[in-house]
Amino acid sequence: MQLGLIGLPMSGKTTAFNALTGANRPTSIAVPGKLDVQLAVVDVPDPRLDALTAMFNPRKKVHAKITFADIGGLAKGISEGGLSGQFRNEIAQMDGFVQVVRVFKDENVPHPEGAIDPQRDIDILDSEFLLTDLVTVENRISRLKEEMSKGKERDKNARELELFEQMRETLETEKPLRSLGLPYEEQRALRGYGFLSIKPRLILLNFGDERPDLASLVSLVEPTTVLGIQARIEAEIAQLDAEEAVLFLEEYQISEPVRERVIREAYNLLHVQTFFTVGEDETRAWPHTIGATAQEAAGVIHTDLQRGFIRAEIVPSDVLLELGGMAEVKQAGKLRLEGKEYIMHDGDVMNVRFNI
């Protein structure tokens, strides 16, 4: 899973990136209009994985991973005629966005628009993305019309044209494509177009050194997921070792580090949940889409397991943790055998029986 940090110049993207990943990138270096991308991979914290690891004492513990991309260079007015190919390609690879919005006041840090106005800043970037998508939609509409006039694949093209005209209308009324709430399958079919406003995004309001107070701002940006952070403070805390970090989080009354909050929201927005595999070799957390069947989930581990899938042995991790071991689970008759159509639940521990 890849989350792109976007935002206007000097909003605190790199500072937030440092807070999220523990990196130590220099701040205020991006040049507006010049793409600058830096990636960092972090472990997804999961207390269930920790508990399972303590139980099985395996050689290896493997967390789910999430990639954060610090994307510098986006700015007002750079998408006339649509964002340039390079920007588009890079940004379109993201599964979702974390949009950093400046709330902090600091005379030493100039704001590209002058005054502080979070709602305006959100709108500016939104309209850059909307414009980029609109260009793509319009190009596709002309292509479709051209093909239809030649009598090619009439039905298929007519259906697609209907969808794209709906998309155009949405964008022209200044709404993002995600507001269409297209079914997952349809979204997947559109992936090749690299639409930006179709991707889930959450908003990270950077309150600077002041305590986040969403109440005063949240109505501006609904119905989006909004989190508040003190980016600079959290970036500094992310440099500390675990024990010291706990002390400072307490001191600043930060109940949960931003990494954990953002990852949890991202899982929700992207409809991702977790299953586990356990054993003496390794315990491991596997992210997968909510609604996946056991067979599809097996494919997350390896395509061979999906192809040769016979059955899955399933036990919820909380049951396993409560009973104290696999032998106990079997003895209590709590190990279920599920077929390929079984819909995975968050926290399932799975062992795939397969044959290839």
Ligand X SMILES: Nc1nc2c(ncn2[C@@H]2O[C@H](COP(=O)(O)OP(=O)(O)OP(=O)(O)O)[C@@H](O)[C@H]2O)c(=O)[nH]1
Please name which of 230, 238, 317 lies closest in space to residue 50, comparing C-alpha atoms: 317
Q: Quote the Cα angle for 207-208-211, to 5°.
A: 60
Nearer to Mg ion, 231 or 278 (CB): 231
Q: Minimum CB separation from ligand X for residue 215, in Å?
A: 19
Q: Does 274 bind ligand X (CB under 6 A)?
A: no
Q: Minimum CB separation from Mg ion for residue 151, in Å?
A: 51
Q: Does 13 bind ligand X (CB under 6 A)?
A: yes
Q: Which does 104 bind (CB under 5 to 8 A by kind): Mg ion, ligand X, none?
A: ligand X
Nearer to ligand X, 30 or 319 (CB): 30
Q: Which does 250 bind (CB under 5 to 8 A by kind): Mg ion, ligand X, none?
A: none
Nearer to ligand X, 11 or 317 (CB): 11
Q: 256: Cβ–Cβ under 8 A, 6 or more apart, which residues?
A: none
Q: 329: Cβ–Cβ under 8 A, 6 or more apart, which residues?
A: 315, 319, 320, 323, 335
Q: Does 157 bind ligand X (CB under 6 A)?
A: no
Q: Does 21 bind ligand X (CB under 6 A)?
A: no
Nearer to ligand X, 104 or 267 (CB): 104
Give the CA diameter of the chain: 70
Given a contact cutoff of 8 angstroms between Cβ atoms, the answer to whether 49 and 285 are in contact is yes
Angstrom distance (rounded) from CA 60 to CA 282? 4
Q: Which amino acid is at 13?
A: K
Q: Which does 7 bind (CB under 5 to 8 A by kind): Mg ion, ligand X, none?
A: ligand X
Angstrom distance (rounded) from CA 151 to CA 148? 5
Angstrom distance (rounded) from CA 339 to CA 353? 10
Residue-wise over 24-51: b if at least 16 C-beta within 10 A, else e?
A: ebebeebeeeebebbebebebebebbee
Angstrom distance (rounded) from CA 76 to CA 121? 9
Q: Minimum CB separation from Mg ion for residue 70, in Å?
A: 6
Q: Does 14 bind ligand X (CB under 6 A)?
A: yes
Nearer to Mg ion, 14 or 283 (CB): 14
Give the end-to-end CA distance of the chain in Å, rounded to a whole number. Answer: 29
Nearer to ligand X, 18 or 170 (CB): 18
Which residue in 66, 125, 134, 231 binds ligand X (CB under 6 A)?
A: 231
Nearer to Mg ion, 72 or 176 (CB): 72
Q: Which does 208 bind (CB under 5 to 8 A by kind): ligand X, Mg ion, none?
A: ligand X
Token representation of residue 236: 């500094």
Q: If binding means CB under 6 A, how many residues of this protein chain bind ligand X?
A: 22
Q: Which amino acid is at 49?
A: L
Nearer to ligand X, 29 or 327 (CB): 29
Q: Does 29 bind ligand X (CB under 6 A)?
A: yes
Binding mask 73-112 for ligand X (x = CB under 6 A): -------------------------------x-x--x---
Please name which of 7, 1, 2 lies closest in space to residue 71, comparing C-alpha atoms: 7
Which residue in 6, 11, 272, 278 binds ligand X (CB under 6 A)?
A: 11
Nearer to ligand X, 46 or 70 (CB): 70
Q: Minimum CB separation from Mg ion for residue 212, in Å?
A: 21
Q: Applying CB under 5 A, which residues contact Mg ion? A: 13-14, 30, 72
Q: Minimum CB separation from ligand X for residue 293, in Å?
A: 41
146 burial via Cβ count (<10 Å: 0-12, 13-18, 19+):
exposed
Which parts of this chain interact with ligand X (CB under 6 A)? 7, 9-15, 27-30, 72, 104, 106, 109, 206, 208-209, 230-232
